[in-house]
Amino acid sequence: MAIQWFPGHMAKARREVGEKIKFVDLVFELVDARLPLSSRNPMLDQIVQHKPRIILLNKADLADEGQTKKWINYFESLGYPALACNAKEANTTKAILAKAKHTLQEKRARDRERGIQPRAIRAMVLGIPNVGKSTIMNRLVGKKIAQTGNKPGVTKGQQWLRVGNELELLDTPGILWPKFEDQEIGKKLALTGAIKDQLLHLDDIALYGLEFFATFYPGRISQRYGLSSTDEQLTAPDLLMDLTKKMGFREDYERASERLLLEIRQGKLGRFTLDRVEDLESESNHETVH
């Protein structure tokens, strides 16, 4: 199953970001804390270039806490300030503002020495679809001004938003690369909902999810669905067949797959992180930070 998705408005957004990057002081790169590396866009390094950048690991409430800490250490070891956040929490705005001020403190000090009066920090929020950009924007601005949705591709336009007197944000549509060099990345993105379900074979993604949980979080599947421990030792296809019956869907594997994916995405099987810091050495081709 080759996963590809690159709607036309994303190509336009890439051009617009390239044109407007010069107007901002800082870039907030939003990633999904459950897949901090796979949800990064390789094109951003080329577009952002040398602008200061903060990596925001959103949806941290759904991710494995131990792995999130490791990822923050990893990004900061490369010189990128990083912050775990949950767009739905009230204290997120304060934490992001503090991180932005700290990141730009040397530049602002130089500006003061040159007699340049301080102004609001101008920032751009970038990320692939469905990592929570609109929710972050609404949290920062303090009102529902950015359109949100539980599916990728909701935000189409581009708008400036003010956060009090301290921050001005340029919202942009999500950008996803046109081809996945590694289909494993495509499966991870699909499992967390970054790619439209209509473009996928849901049973393939469900099988991938079952194999992942059996490997890294054994016991979660049997605990959630009341299976015996021996059931979880089955191959993923056999396990999906058992789950389908357990859910009352008889032989409707598509419906069972849809239910399983929804519950994984909602965190009903517990916190999880698909990208493992420990795998970086063996998967150096996944690295997109330079």
Domain boundary (171, 191, 210) is at 171
100 and 189 assigned to the same domain: no
Does residue 269 sit within a domain? Answer: yes
3-state secondary structure the chain: CCCCCCCHHHHHHHHHHHHHHHHCCEEEEEEECCCCCCCCCCHHHHHHCCCCEEEEEECHHHCCHHHHHHHHHHHHHCCCCEEECCCCCCCHHHHHHHHHHHHCHHHHHHHHHCCCCCCCEEEEEECCCCCCHHHHHHHHHCCCCCCCCCCCCCCCCCEEEEECCCEEEEECCCCCCCCCCCHHHHHHHHHHCCCCHHHCCHHHHHHHHHHHHHHHCCCHHHHHHCCCCCHHHCCHHHHHHHHHHHCCCCCCHHHHHHHHHHHHHCCCCCCCCCCCHHHCCCCHHHCCCC
151 and 204 assigned to the same domain: no
22 and 105 assigned to the same domain: yes
Cα–Cα distance, 173 to 102 (Å, whole number): 27
134 and 268 assigned to the same domain: no
Does residue 42 sit within a domain? Answer: yes
* Residue 192: Cβ-neighbour burial (10 angstroms; 0-12, 13-18, 19+): buried
259 and 140 assigned to the same domain: no
203 and 117 assigned to the same domain: no
* Residue 24: Cβ-neighbour burial (10 angstroms; 0-12, 13-18, 19+): buried
92 and 113 assigned to the same domain: yes
Tell me, what's the pLDDT at 48?
A: 85
Tell me, what's the pLDDT at 286?
A: 46
The strand pairing partners of 124, in sequence order, are 27, 170
204 and 140 assigned to the same domain: no
Bridge-based pairing of strands 159-163 and 167-171 is antiparallel
* Total residue length of the chain: 290
Does residue 166 sit within a domain? Answer: yes
Tell me, what's the pLDDT at 274?
A: 97
Domain boundary (144, 171, 198) is at 171
Cα–Cα distance, 286 to 290 (Å, whole number): 12
23 and 163 assigned to the same domain: yes
Domain boundary (111, 142, 171) is at 171
Residue 83 neighbours by CB under 8 Å, 6+ apart: 54, 55, 56, 57, 72, 95, 96, 99
Does residue 120 sit within a domain? Answer: yes
Does residue 164 sit within a domain? Answer: yes
Tell me, what's the pLDDT at 174?
A: 62
Tell me, what's the pLDDT at 285?
A: 46
220 and 157 assigned to the same domain: no
CB 283 within 8 A of CB 37: no
152 and 191 assigned to the same domain: no
Cα–Cα distance, 184 to 208 (Å, whole number): 9
Does residue 270 sit within a domain? Answer: yes
131 and 209 assigned to the same domain: no
Tell me, what's the pLDDT at 216?
A: 95
Cβ atoms within 10 Å, residue 97: 16
232: domain range?
Answer: 183-286
Tell me, what's the pLDDT at 279?
A: 87
Cα–Cα distance, 7 to 66 (Å, whole number): 35
- pLDDT (tens place) for every residue of the chain, 290 residues total: 556 555 566 677 777 788 888 889 999 999 999 999 999 887 788 888 889 999 999 999 999 999 999 999 999 999 999 999 998 888 898 999 999 999 999 988 888 889 988 888 999 888 887 888 888 888 888 765 554 444 454 444 556 788 888 898 886 666 666 556 778 888 999 999 888 777 778 999 999 999 999 999 999 999 999 988 788 789 999 999 999 999 999 999 999 999 999 999 999 999 999 999 998 866 554 445 55
Q: Which residue has the tokens 């909902």?
A: 193
CATH of the domain at 164: 3.40.50.300
Does residue 176 sit within a domain? Answer: no
CATH of the domain at 205: 1.10.1580.10
Angle at 41 between CA 127 and CA 69, to 5 degrees: 75
Tell me, what's the pLDDT at 156?
A: 47
Number of domains in the chain: 2
Cα–Cα distance, 121 to 107 (Å, whole number): 11
Does residue 26 sit within a domain? Answer: yes
